[in-house]
Amino acid sequence: MRWLVIATLMFTGCSKADDGPSCDQVVDSMMAVTKQAMTGHGDMEVQNKKAMVDQCVARKMSADQRRCLVAAKDLAAIAACTPKK
């Protein structure tokens, strides 16, 4: 019985918290929404995705904000993810 308690504590205590989507996922999602909103630009590709991902990382967005951005289906929803100052 004692081993069961120890094993349970080890596995539940060591589980990784949900950090939300990565900045790479955020940029991919935002670019997909932007492409849909800006008709006529469907063939354009991101020229500097790395810079966009780096900017996302530098902003230290919360996991909730990154989740919001990935879930956004239009530009208004993306704008709504921006924290109010």
Name the nearest CA neighbour of 69 among 58, 79, 55: 79
Q: At residue 9, does pLDDT exceed 60?
A: no
CA of residue 74 relative to chain centroid, distance: 15
pLDDT of residue 62: 93
- CB crowding 31-42: b at 16 or more within 10 Å, else e: eebeeeeeeeee
Model confidence band, residue 67 (pLDDT cutoffs 50, 70, 90)? very high
Residue 29 near residue 70 (C-beta atoms within 8 A): yes
Structure-token pair, residue 15: 């589980």
